Structure 1
Amino acid sequence: MADVSFRPDLYRGTADYYDRFRLAYPDTMLADLVHRASPSGHGRLLDLACGTGQLAFPLRAWFAEVWAVDAEVGMGDVVRAKAGAGGEVADAGAGGGGDAADAKAVGDRVGVGRGVGRVRDVAAGVAVGGGMVDIGAGADVRAGATEVAVTGDAAYVRAVTAKAEDLEMDAASVELVVIGNAFHRLPRDLVARCVLSWLEPGGHLALCWSTSPWAGPLDWQQAFGAVLRRWQAALGATSRVPSSAEQLRRTDPDGEVLRRAGFEPAVRHEFAVEHRWTLGELAGHVRSTSFLPPSVLGDRAAEFDGDLMAVLSPYTVDGHLTETVSFAYGLARRPGVASG
């Protein structure tokens, strides 16, 4: 069954808002995931469609190396900056005059310790000059490449700008793959087959999720959702996200996709966390979405904020709106015996 195709630019310009206003996965969920996946401490973590590293960074303490992969250039820029706060980070413009170039990393192989990875047919804006830019011990950027590796206090973090389906890695070279709030936007069958091949025998794939603040049953959530729908219609943004995406997931669930790829049956684990939002945080969260990002709000952003405040303010208590957020992950295992 063919997956729904999503526009490649849905999250363009959202990275800073994504990093500031998306909720962190709770420690209880991450601890449970680590317990069940049982990483060796010397393996590789692959975070696909990583955003700004909402899973890569809190999980990196259990791995020797982390790959954080996202198709959106801005997301990778934030990952590099965050990783650089604990180590060394490249100035991608060094030697390149600061101009972004459309680059294709076609078969540009880069050594990454155990196993070798490469990015195939990836077009992205990269500001690098000719030759190689030295960015510190054990890492480099070659002309045309779209990845930068940086070192921090824990794992070796490699930020890669690529679509998940365009990534190539050695077989059986990854202990754990995580995908946060994104599997529905990927070509699921293709990505599931790729992930199965990249995982070590006994390795795991975790599909991680969280509920959205406008999708709940509370009165303020219903009012919030109505504001968003009204503004999507006003700005001509109702078709940015395919309407058939959720229907496809109901008729062809993620678990069935993983089963077809060869995974053992996935098991879902859920965690409920109470969260208090300010109205400003909700406005920022909206700007992190694919349906009302800054590029869509445009010069009407202040008008949107005013409308949002006017509608939601009556529901606030001490300046906050409270909800119970459901975080969850589905853990699927590649058959076989783990090497460690």
Structure 2
Amino acid sequence: MPPPSHFQPRRFRSTAAVYARFRLGYPDRLIRRVIALAGLERGDSVLDLGAGPGLLALPFARKGMAVTAVDPEPEMCEALENAAKQAHLPVRVLAGSSFELPPGIGPFRLVTIGRAFHWMDRAETVKALDRMVAPGGALALFDDEFPNSVENRWRTALDTVAHRYGADSSPHRMERADPVHRSHESVLLESPFPVLETAGVIVRRELTVEDIVGYAQSLSVTSAQTLGERAAAFEADLRQALAELSPDGQFVQIAEMKALIARRQNG
């Protein structure tokens, strides 16, 4: 499956360190629920596609799964390899993407994709994964969602500043804003994996200004790589907006960490 012209395999080049530090990890209770829903047992094979620094690969490896992690960004692969080594976890890390899956891998009992399905040609990716998922296997799309709540007002401030720096004109945000855009659920319902169910947990944590600035730097639309010479100005504007919201620099984050599990019609 050739990548489209707008595919940027090194989109997250500058974000490996901040991604691992400032993005929300997936809670252990969510990992346990997905393992139960997918019927996994210790030693079962799991592919983490678009693995980044390992926010899914490492938790599944801790549960005894045989994890293969694939990512197109060398810095992400290196970060994941180092984290797995420090944790004494046997994660196989391979360079690749949904457009260039490494040859000779699989079959897998579960394929996980964390915050990355929107970067892929979703329909074609699922067709390719259908050839790699074992009978009775499943897909699990992980993501986070921030409820519209006063606690998450920092996110509104971040979005407002990011908009001034062109975040909403990025191709993937424009695609999702298009009235004819299809949800992940819509795509999967017409795929080889149309049987869907969800699992989710709500988390709350306290944030500082540094946490929010680091989170912003982990986003592709406001990363140091994307903003270039405007990065310092963006950070200053974000810090000013946050100071106006909370002079003491303390914030709260509420998020739903969720997984969309997809199976074949025949199980």
TM-score, L = length of structure 2: 0.87
Quickly say closer, same or farther: Cα 1:173–1:312, change in 2 above 3 A: same
More displaced 10-residue stretch of structure 1: 25-34 or 284-293:
25-34
Quickly say closer, same or farther: Cα 1:239–1:317, change in 2 above 3 A: closer
Quickly say closer, same or farther: Cα 1:309–1:168, change in 2 above 3 A: closer
Rounded to whole Å, the distance in 1 between the matches of 2:191 and 2:226 is 37
Rounded to whole Å, the distance in 1 between the matches of 2:243 and 2:10 is 32
Quickly say closer, same or farther: Cα 1:217–1:246, change in 2 above 3 A: farther
The one of 304, 314, 330 aligned to 2:260: 330
Which residue number corresponds to residue 94 of structure 2? 160
Which amino acid in structure 2 is aligned with residue 297 of structure 1?
L
Rounded to whole Å, the distance in 2 between the matches of 1:328 and 1:249 is 24
3-state SS of paired residue (1:220): helix
Bigger radius of gyration: 1
Which residue number corresponds to residue 155 of structure 2? 221
Which residue number corresponds to residue 217 of structure 2? 287
Which amino acid in structure 2 is aligned with residue 57 of structure 1?
L
Q: Report if the CA contact (8 A) 1:240-1:291 is conserved.
A: yes
Q: Report if the CA contact (8 A) 1:47-1:56 is conserved.
A: yes
| 1:304 is aligned to 2:234 | yes
TM-score, L = length of structure 1: 0.70
| 1:204 is aligned to 2:138 | yes
Quickly say closer, same or farther: Cα 1:171–1:309, change in 2 above 3 A: closer
Which amino acid in structure 1 is aligned with residue 225 of structure 2?
S
Q: Report if the CA contact (8 A) 1:270-1:329 is conserved.
A: yes
Quickly say closer, same or farther: Cα 1:293–1:220, change in 2 above 3 A: closer
Which residue number corresponds to residue 102 of structure 1? none
Rounded to whole Å, the distance in 2 between the matches of 1:6 and 1:216 is 31
Deviation at 1:43, TM superposition (A): 1.7
RMSD, aligned α-carbons: 2.6
Q: Report if the CA contact (8 A) 1:70-1:163 is conserved.
A: yes
Which amino acid in structure 2 is aligned with residue 305 of structure 1?
E
Deviation at 1:73, TM superposition (A): 1.2
The one of 157, 177, 184 aligned to 2:118: 184
Quickly say closer, same or farther: Cα 1:299–1:286, change in 2 above 3 A: same
Rounded to whole Å, the distance in 2 between the matches of 1:32 and 1:241 is 34
Deviations 1:304-326 (A, max 9, x none): 33322221123237532113112
3-state SS of paired residue (1:83): helix
Deviations 1:135-179 (A, max 9, x none): xxxxxxxxxxxxxxxxx3xxx311111112311556861011100
The one of 197, 206, 214 aligned to 1:267: 197
Structure 1 unmatched runs, 5+: 88-151
Q: Report if the CA contact (8 A) 2:154-2:245 is conserved.
A: yes
Structure richer in helix, relative to its length: 2
Which amino acid in structure 2 is aligned with residue 73 of structure 1?
P
Rounded to whole Å, the distance in 2 between the matches of 1:172 and 1:336 is 20
Quickly say closer, same or farther: Cα 1:157–1:208, change in 2 above 3 A: same
Which amino acid in structure 2 is aligned with residue 25 of structure 1?
Y
Which residue number corresponds to residue 109 of structure 1? none
Q: Report if the CA contact (8 A) 1:171-1:199 is conserved.
A: no
Paired-residue identity, %: 28
